[in-house]
Amino acid sequence: MVEVTVTPQSSLADRPVQVQVRGLSPSQLVTLRASLTDEQGERFQARAFFRADGAGEVDPGRHAALGGSYAGVWPMGLFWFLQPDTLFRRLVKRDVAGSPFRVRLEVFDGLCLVTGPQDQPLASCEAERWYVGPGVQRVPIREGRVRGALFLPP
């Protein structure tokens, strides 16, 4: 049974996570895809192609991506190389304190350049990427022409 995990499942956006896929056949070619929908409804995706090792595992921190959105060993590549489906859109988190970005990770058999609704992943999981830690207080600043926000630690 194929399983994909993200450790930790919930973390701050600037903290590294570990992505692992287990249960594959040795040397099996797979596509790992990360996707999220921002607050405006825009979808962002990244994908990378991997060959499983002898134990049937893929770890982007140890194994080189063979292609896709990036190539080589990039432990956070699926998160760093997210691209919009609509050209010229930027990934911006507006509600930094209220909710996380939910990044869906999926594993597909073979090399999948385009996936449609009929394509079922071998395994999937979700990671939460928060922009403000627990207990942090956001204080709006409006003084003369200065506008901003002060984030106070707990």
What is the model's pLDDT at position 13?
Answer: 94
pLDDT in tens, 55-99: 999 999 999 999 999 999 999 999 999 999 999 999 999 888 889
The two structure tokens encoding residue 35: 């996707």
* DSSP result, 54-66: TTS-B-TTTS-B-
What is the model's pLDDT at position 98?
Answer: 86
What is the model's pLDDT at position 150?
Answer: 93
Sign of CA dihedral 110, 115, 118, 122: positive
Q: What are the sequence ranges of the domains in the chain?
A: 3-152
By the 10 Å C-beta count (0-12 exposed, 13-18 middle, 19+ buried), 143 is classed as exposed
Residues of the chain under the 70 pLDDT cut: 117
Residue 2: CA atoms inside 13 Å, Cβ hemisphere, count?
A: 23
How far apart are alpha carbons 21 and 56 in whole angstroms? 8
According to CATH, the topology of domain 3-152 is Immunoglobulin-like (2.60.40)
Q: List, in sequence order, the alpha helices (H) in the chain.
A: 77-80
Cβ atoms of 11 and 30 within 8 Å: the answer is no
What is the model's pLDDT at position 114?
Answer: 77
